[in-house]
Amino acid sequence: MLEKILFNKTSLPLLSRTMDAAMLRSRVIANNIANVTTPGYRRVEVSFEEQLRTALDRTRLQGAKTDDQHLDMGRKNLSEVNAEAYHPYDPTQPSGVNNVDIDMEMAKLAETQIQYNFAVKFGQGMFRKLNAAIQGKSIQI
């Protein structure tokens, strides 16, 4: 029962998905950087934040599926939000060889690292509070 409360009624599943998205984004960016001189390579990006924003938007309707073959309708459930890698439409070739801009990729990599570190710290805080609650101790916030 405690497991269901922790992993279904808290933000832990969302935090886990956020960290997974950051890890996927790091791998994708590293791959883009590794292929900066590969002729014709098309860079890859990760989509996650827009899906999350849409799923959290309570002003949008959320449909209910009564059959697995029904189409999704309205905003997604948070459990359905996942990071996805895709090739964006980008006809430019800033490097002259492909559409990978090394400066942009390095900036995105730094931003992703900051997001991941924040998620880790946030998760540590959640578990610290949970541990204190289990032990009956108070903690400073």
Could you tell me the mean pLDDT of each successive run of 10 residues in the chain, 141 residues long? 65 88 97 93 93 81 70 71 90 77 96 96 90 84 65
Tokens at 131, concatenated: 């541990």
> What single-letter DSSP state applies at residue 62?
B
CA distance 74 to 26: 30
Q: Where are the domains of the chain?
A: 2-48+83-135
pLDDT in tens, 44-72: 999 999 888 888 887 766 666 677 776 66
Amino acid at 141: I
Query: Given this model, what pLDDT does residue 129 score?
Result: 86
